[in-house]
A and B are shown apart, each in its own frame.
Chain A
Amino acid sequence: MHTHLIPDQKLVVSYLEGNEAALEMLIRRYKQKVMTSIYMLVHDRYLAEDIFQETFIKVIHSLRQGKYQHEGKFLPWVIRIARNLCIDHIRRRKKMPTITDSEGKDVFGYIKVDEPNAHDRMESSQTNSLLIALIEKLPDEQREVLILRHYGELSFKEIAELTGCSINTALGRMRYAILNLRKMMVFSAQRQ
């Protein structure tokens, strides 16, 4: 079945008419872009998994409540929801006290470091891992524009509206993100 030929809007309508498979198709179509965007924003595989679930559960409720107005922009709409949830989590995390052990290390840090990546389905080569690490090092504003534009497919105008800056500022952040990534790649290559 050529699921790619079915437009998002048709799948949304079909889902609202009771076809659960239509939702599954939408999730299958966009799960990698949504998951990658979330992970790049929160830098935590397990939190990203939670936010991914929350995002689509919110999508379901919003669709059923008739809050989605289709303008050929299903993915950017989902990414906006995901981005706002990421910000909520980051804010909450900043307010949470860090639980440390007798040596002053964050105990939750062990989970990230020691747990095997059995659930980690990232299809990445070494280059991809390096790129992920470098993107994580970008200043928040630059990383956000890069992710929203590249994976979320939001236009620079939409990014400007969402993040409360001008289009020129959004473009400038994208430019610096690209230039900084190159600088870091060159630096990283020189160190090896």
Chain B
Amino acid sequence: MHQTITQEDVIRYAYGETSAEEQLRIEEALASNPELQDFFALLKQAAVEMNGIRMTPHPTSVRIIMEESQDSSMEISNG
């Protein structure tokens, strides 16, 4: 008997967390189940939109981090 494929299975599939065997079963289910297809499309759309959100730290933040790195490096070399 085939195990029912759930939306949670589709999430694992979308994020590449399924075994080769599971992947095959999920792809078969996706090919024949419109509800799962809709959910998969929704997941992909959400992923694309989330990828569009990119926040960049201010250059000052990166500078502060690099200065801290240099300071801690000097502390180590000075013993």
Restricting to A5-32, which residues have a CB under 8 Å from any CB of B? 18, 20, 23-24, 27, 31-32
B69, A123: Cβ atoms under 8 Å? no
Query: Closest approach, in angstroms, between the C-beta of A157 and any C-beta of chain B?
Result: 8
B76, A64: Cβ atoms under 8 Å? yes
Chain B CB within 8 A of A137 CB: no
Query: Closest approach, in angstroms, between the C-beta of A126 and any C-beta of chain B?
Result: 11
A35, B55: Cβ atoms under 8 Å? yes
A52, B8: Cβ atoms under 8 Å? no
A35 in contact with B69 given A178-B43, A181-B46 (CB within 8 Å): no
A164-181 vs B, Cβ < 8 Å mask (1 yes, 0 no):
000010011011001101
Complex Cα–Cα for A146 and B53 (A): 13
Chain A CB within 8 A of B47 CB: yes
Chain A CB within 8 A of B5 CB: no
Complex Cα–Cα for A179 and B40 (A): 11
B8, A53: Cβ atoms under 8 Å? no
Chain B CB within 8 A of A90 CB: no
Our pick among B17, B53, B69 for the contact of A36 (Cβ within 8 Å) is: B53
B11, A175: Cβ atoms under 8 Å? yes
Complex Cα–Cα for A180 and B66 (A): 40
Main secondary structure of the interface of B (DSSP, over half): helix
Complex Cα–Cα for A168 and B69 (A): 40
B62, A39: Cβ atoms under 8 Å? no
Complex Cα–Cα for A128 and B54 (A): 9
Complex Cα–Cα for A48 and B61 (A): 10
A56, B49: Cβ atoms under 8 Å? no
Chain A neighbourhood of B12, CB < 8 A:
156, 171
A128, B53: Cβ atoms under 8 Å? yes
Residue of B nearest to A37 (CB): B55
Complex Cα–Cα for A131 and B50 (A): 8
Query: Closest approach, in angstroms, between the C-beta of A31 and any C-beta of chain B?
Result: 6
B56, A182: Cβ atoms under 8 Å? no
Chain B CB within 8 A of A125 CB: yes
CB pairs A–B below 8 angstroms (17 shown): A18-B73, A20-B66, A20-B73, A23-B66, A27-B66, A32-B54, A35-B56, A49-B57, A53-B64, A53-B65, A64-B76, A122-B53, A124-B54, A131-B52, A150-B47, A168-B8, A181-B46
